[in-house]
Amino acid sequence: MKWDPFKKGAPSTQPVEDDDDCEFCRSPWWFVTPCKVIVTQCVARQIDLIDVADALQRHLRCDWGVVETGQWKANDSALSKSGRLLSMYQDRCGHKFWIITDLGRNLTEVFTDPF
């Protein structure tokens, strides 16, 4: 099964425990468990969704993008404590966008303005 992050019912929109047939979710190279992903309207309008999909894959593999060293270390530490994860990426045109995974690893949001 090939993963399509924008297909209705794709693994990224299903709880992991409910999708036993999902090769994507069982993949051994994910460090952050895939969960429900929300892409804000601003991201959908401004950022190429291919760039969003690439960034989500990087985020799930603990590549935090272009965050500062302190945030990178905080994310690495949060992995063992189930803390919040924040990463930042740039699309092909140089537009910045952020990905945040909540404390319980139930929700990941992609947005263009972190504050």
Least confident range from 25-39, 42-56, 85-99: namely 25-39
DSSP structural state of residue 92: T
Task: Give the C-alpha distances (Å, rounded to integers) separating 29 from 43, 55, 79.
Answer: 26, 15, 15
What is the model's pTM?
0.70
Asked whether the beta carbons of 12 and 5 are under 8 A apart, the reply is: yes
- Beta strands 36-39 and 107-111, pairing class: parallel
Q: How much is the mean pLDDT over the chain? A: 77
Position 56 scores a pLDDT of 94
Position 32 scores a pLDDT of 67
Among 11-20, 25-34, 47-56, the range with the most confident prediction by mean pLDDT is: 47-56
Tokens 């803390």 belong to: 83
Query: What is the percent of the chain where pLDDT is above 90?
Result: 50
Q: How many other β-carbons are positioned within 10 Å of the β-carbon of residue 13?
A: 16
Residue 49 to residue 102: CA distance in whole angstroms: 21
Residue, of 32 and 3, whose pLDDT is higher: 32
Mean pLDDT of 39-55: 93
Question: Following DSSP, what letter does each residue of 9-72 receive, concatenated?
Answer: T-GGGS-GGG-TT-HHHH-TT-SS---EEEE-HHHHHHS-HHHHHHHHHHHHTT--BT--HHHH
- At 76-111, the pLDDT tens digits run 998 888 789 999 999 999 999 999 998 878 889 999
Residue, of 34 and 67, whose pLDDT is higher: 67
